[in-house]
Amino acid sequence: MTRIVVTEYISVDGVVEAPSGTEPFERVGWIDHFTRGPEGDRFKFDETMASDALLFGRRTYDGFAPVWPHVEGEFAERFNSLPKYVVSSTLKDPEWNNTTVLRGDVVEEVTRLKERHQGDIVVHGSPQLAQTLIEHDLVDELRLMVYPVIVGAGKRLFADTTSVKTLRLAETATFGDGVHVLIYRPVTG
Protein backbone atom coordinates (compact mmCIF):
# COMPACT_ATOMS: atom_id res chain seq x y z
CA MET A 1 0.00 0.00 0.00
CA THR A 2 1.27 3.44 -0.85
CA ARG A 3 1.53 5.73 2.13
CA ILE A 4 2.45 9.34 2.70
CA VAL A 5 4.75 9.33 5.72
CA VAL A 6 5.68 12.62 7.36
CA THR A 7 8.84 12.28 9.46
CA GLU A 8 10.07 15.12 11.65
CA TYR A 9 12.62 16.10 14.22
CA ILE A 10 10.47 18.11 16.61
CA SER A 11 10.98 19.87 19.93
CA VAL A 12 8.67 19.66 22.96
CA ASP A 13 7.22 23.03 21.90
CA GLY A 14 6.53 21.81 18.37
CA VAL A 15 9.37 23.51 16.49
CA VAL A 16 10.74 21.72 13.41
CA GLU A 17 12.91 24.42 11.85
CA ALA A 18 16.60 23.72 11.22
CA PRO A 19 17.11 20.88 13.72
CA SER A 20 20.60 20.33 12.33
CA GLY A 21 22.70 21.63 9.46
CA THR A 22 23.60 25.12 8.35
CA GLU A 23 20.32 26.84 7.61
CA PRO A 24 20.15 30.53 8.42
CA PHE A 25 18.15 30.10 11.63
CA GLU A 26 19.55 31.57 14.81
CA ARG A 27 18.87 28.38 16.80
CA VAL A 28 19.98 25.94 14.08
CA GLY A 29 21.25 22.61 15.36
CA TRP A 30 19.06 22.18 18.41
CA ILE A 31 19.12 18.37 18.05
CA ASP A 32 22.91 18.43 18.09
CA HIS A 33 22.88 18.93 21.89
CA PHE A 34 21.57 15.38 22.26
CA THR A 35 22.40 11.89 21.06
CA ARG A 36 19.70 9.58 19.77
CA GLY A 37 21.99 6.57 20.26
CA PRO A 38 22.55 3.60 17.92
CA GLU A 39 18.85 2.66 17.98
CA GLY A 40 17.95 6.17 16.88
CA ASP A 41 20.46 5.95 14.02
CA ARG A 42 19.02 2.57 13.09
CA PHE A 43 15.51 4.00 13.05
CA LYS A 44 16.48 6.73 10.56
CA PHE A 45 18.51 4.27 8.48
CA ASP A 46 15.65 1.77 8.24
CA GLU A 47 13.27 4.57 7.37
CA THR A 48 15.27 5.62 4.34
CA MET A 49 15.97 2.05 3.23
CA ALA A 50 12.20 1.43 3.30
CA SER A 51 11.31 4.62 1.43
CA ASP A 52 10.02 4.39 -2.11
CA ALA A 53 10.24 8.12 -2.85
CA LEU A 54 10.91 11.43 -1.12
CA LEU A 55 8.60 14.43 -1.20
CA PHE A 56 9.81 17.90 -0.26
CA GLY A 57 8.67 21.45 0.16
CA ARG A 58 10.80 23.97 -1.68
CA ARG A 59 12.82 25.22 1.29
CA THR A 60 13.76 21.83 2.65
CA TYR A 61 14.65 20.73 -0.88
CA ASP A 62 16.90 23.75 -1.29
CA GLY A 63 18.59 22.90 2.00
CA PHE A 64 19.15 19.24 1.08
CA ALA A 65 19.95 19.42 -2.65
CA PRO A 66 23.43 21.00 -2.42
CA VAL A 67 24.47 18.83 0.55
CA TRP A 68 23.39 15.23 0.04
CA PRO A 69 25.10 14.58 -3.32
CA HIS A 70 28.42 15.07 -1.51
CA VAL A 71 27.67 12.72 1.38
CA GLU A 72 29.00 9.16 1.17
CA GLY A 73 27.80 5.90 2.65
CA GLU A 74 24.92 3.51 2.31
CA PHE A 75 22.33 5.91 3.71
CA ALA A 76 23.35 8.79 1.43
CA GLU A 77 23.50 6.51 -1.61
CA ARG A 78 19.95 5.44 -1.01
CA PHE A 79 18.80 8.98 -0.25
CA ASN A 80 20.43 10.31 -3.42
CA SER A 81 19.11 7.56 -5.68
CA LEU A 82 15.45 7.62 -4.55
CA PRO A 83 12.93 9.43 -6.73
CA LYS A 84 12.47 12.93 -5.35
CA TYR A 85 9.51 15.24 -5.76
CA VAL A 86 9.54 18.87 -4.83
CA VAL A 87 6.47 21.10 -4.61
CA SER A 88 7.32 24.40 -6.26
CA SER A 89 5.81 26.74 -8.82
CA THR A 90 9.14 28.42 -9.59
CA LEU A 91 11.93 25.83 -9.42
CA LYS A 92 13.46 25.02 -12.84
CA ASP A 93 16.13 22.46 -13.71
CA PRO A 94 16.58 20.90 -10.28
CA GLU A 95 20.13 19.59 -9.96
CA TRP A 96 19.71 16.85 -7.40
CA ASN A 97 19.60 13.49 -9.13
CA ASN A 98 16.16 12.04 -9.92
CA THR A 99 14.09 15.11 -8.98
CA THR A 100 10.69 15.93 -10.41
CA VAL A 101 9.08 19.32 -9.77
CA LEU A 102 5.37 19.26 -8.89
CA ARG A 103 3.89 22.51 -10.17
CA GLY A 104 0.17 21.86 -9.95
CA ASP A 105 -2.27 21.83 -7.07
CA VAL A 106 -0.54 20.06 -4.17
CA VAL A 107 -3.50 17.89 -3.26
CA GLU A 108 -4.02 16.67 -6.82
CA GLU A 109 -0.31 16.14 -7.39
CA VAL A 110 0.11 14.13 -4.20
CA THR A 111 -2.99 12.07 -4.91
CA ARG A 112 -1.51 11.23 -8.32
CA LEU A 113 1.86 10.41 -6.75
CA LYS A 114 0.19 7.88 -4.52
CA GLU A 115 -1.04 6.07 -7.62
CA ARG A 116 2.44 6.01 -9.13
CA HIS A 117 4.28 4.50 -6.15
CA GLN A 118 3.92 1.26 -4.23
CA GLY A 119 5.64 1.95 -0.92
CA ASP A 120 6.26 4.89 1.40
CA ILE A 121 6.53 8.39 0.03
CA VAL A 122 8.41 10.13 2.81
CA VAL A 123 8.29 13.82 3.67
CA HIS A 124 11.26 15.14 5.69
CA GLY A 125 10.95 18.56 7.33
CA SER A 126 8.94 20.73 4.89
CA PRO A 127 6.52 22.10 7.51
CA GLN A 128 4.42 24.13 5.10
CA LEU A 129 3.86 21.10 2.88
CA ALA A 130 3.21 18.90 5.92
CA GLN A 131 0.55 21.36 7.09
CA THR A 132 -1.19 21.19 3.72
CA LEU A 133 -1.06 17.39 3.76
CA ILE A 134 -2.45 17.29 7.32
CA GLU A 135 -5.23 19.75 6.48
CA HIS A 136 -6.31 17.57 3.53
CA ASP A 137 -6.07 14.26 5.43
CA LEU A 138 -3.33 13.01 3.12
CA VAL A 139 -0.92 11.88 5.84
CA ASP A 140 -1.01 8.13 6.46
CA GLU A 141 1.69 8.13 9.10
CA LEU A 142 3.23 10.84 11.26
CA ARG A 143 6.63 9.99 12.76
CA LEU A 144 7.87 12.38 15.37
CA MET A 145 11.32 12.20 16.89
CA VAL A 146 10.71 14.42 19.91
CA TYR A 147 13.88 15.99 21.32
CA PRO A 148 13.81 17.08 24.98
CA VAL A 149 14.16 20.80 24.38
CA ILE A 150 12.01 23.91 24.27
CA VAL A 151 13.40 25.70 21.22
CA GLY A 152 11.31 28.80 21.92
CA ALA A 153 11.20 30.15 18.37
CA GLY A 154 11.06 28.99 14.77
CA LYS A 155 8.64 27.28 12.45
CA ARG A 156 6.30 24.80 14.02
CA LEU A 157 4.90 21.66 12.46
CA PHE A 158 1.30 22.22 13.45
CA ALA A 159 -0.77 25.13 12.20
CA ASP A 160 -4.46 25.92 12.26
CA THR A 161 -6.67 23.35 10.57
CA THR A 162 -10.33 23.56 9.70
CA SER A 163 -11.29 20.46 11.66
CA VAL A 164 -10.18 18.25 14.53
CA LYS A 165 -8.05 15.27 13.45
CA THR A 166 -8.15 12.23 15.69
CA LEU A 167 -5.12 9.99 15.65
CA ARG A 168 -4.04 6.62 16.93
CA LEU A 169 -0.72 6.19 18.69
CA ALA A 170 0.71 3.19 16.84
CA GLU A 171 4.19 2.91 18.34
CA THR A 172 6.52 4.61 20.79
CA ALA A 173 10.16 4.20 21.71
CA THR A 174 12.74 6.17 23.65
CA PHE A 175 16.30 6.43 22.35
CA GLY A 176 19.55 7.93 23.61
CA ASP A 177 19.19 11.12 25.66
CA GLY A 178 15.43 10.92 26.10
CA VAL A 179 14.69 11.22 22.41
CA HIS A 180 11.18 10.04 22.01
CA VAL A 181 9.84 8.43 18.84
CA LEU A 182 6.09 8.61 18.37
CA ILE A 183 4.28 7.07 15.44
CA TYR A 184 0.72 8.20 14.78
CA ARG A 185 -1.79 7.12 12.17
CA PRO A 186 -5.11 8.74 11.41
CA VAL A 187 -8.29 7.24 12.78
CA THR A 188 -10.39 6.68 9.70
CA GLY A 189 -14.09 6.11 9.32
Partner 1 sequence: MRKVIVNEFVSLDGVSQAPGGADEDPSGGFGHGGWHMRYMEDELARRWAVGSIVEAGGFLLGRRTYEIFAAYWPHASEEEQVIAQPLNTKPKHVASTTRVDPLDWRNSTVLRGDVGEAVAALKADDGGDLHVIGSTELVRSLIEHDLVDEFRLMIDPVMLGGGKRIFREDGLLRPLRLVDCQTTSSGALLATYAPNA
Residues forming the site for partner 1 (CB under 8 A): 12-14, 27, 30, 33-34, 134, 148-153, 156-158, 160-169, 172, 174, 177-180, 182, 184
- Taking the complex as a whole, the smallest distance from the CB of residue 20 to partner 1 amounts, in Å, to 14
Nearer to partner 1, 48 or 131 (CB): 131
Residue 53: CB atoms within 10 A of its CB come to: 19
- Taking the complex as a whole, the smallest distance from the CB of residue 64 to partner 1 amounts, in Å, to 24
Residue 61: CB atoms within 10 A of its CB come to: 25
Nearer to partner 1, 116 or 168 (CB): 168
Asked whether the beta carbons of 140 and 114 are under 8 A apart, the reply is no
3-class DSSP state for residue 133? Answer: helix
Residue 175: which residues within 8 A CB-CB, separation 6 or more?
36, 37, 39, 40, 43, 181
Nearer to partner 1, 88 or 174 (CB): 174
Nearer to partner 1, 9 or 61 (CB): 9
